[in-house]
């Protein structure tokens, strides 16, 4: 069985979609934080959003790398 070749043509598009979805999740969680009275849930959502923000920064760096590699 022959392995599939590495097709990276749409990586930038996929990464952009992941960034958009993650930002939407951050916004939804922010709404939930403002609506909940439960401090445990609020803390969990804040921690999750912090991880999401870090992930967005990493994805943005990956997107820069991908777009840079497309023009080489």
Among 24, 20, 4, 3, which Cα is nearest to 12's?
A: 20
- What angle is formed at CA 57 by the lines to CA 23 and CA 46, rounded to 5 degrees? 55
Distance CA 32, CA 7 (A): 39
pLDDT of residue 26: 98
pLDDT of residue 17: 98
> Cβ distance 66 to 15 under 8 Å?
yes
Q: What is the pLDDT of residues 3-59, one digit of tens each?
A: 777 777 789 999 999 999 999 999 999 999 999 999 999 999 999 999 999 999 999
pTM: 0.84
Distance CA 60, CA 37 (A): 33
pLDDT of residue 71: 65
């Amino acid at each position: 069985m022959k392995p599939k070749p590495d097709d990276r043509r749409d990586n930038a598009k996929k990464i952009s979609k992941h960034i958009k979805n993650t930002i939407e999740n951050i916004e939804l969680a922010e709404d939930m934080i403002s609506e909940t009275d439960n401090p445990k849930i609020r803390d969990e959502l804040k921690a999750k959003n912090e991880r999401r923000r870090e992930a967005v920064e990493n994805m943005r760096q990956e997107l820069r790398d991908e777009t840079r590699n497309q023009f080489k």
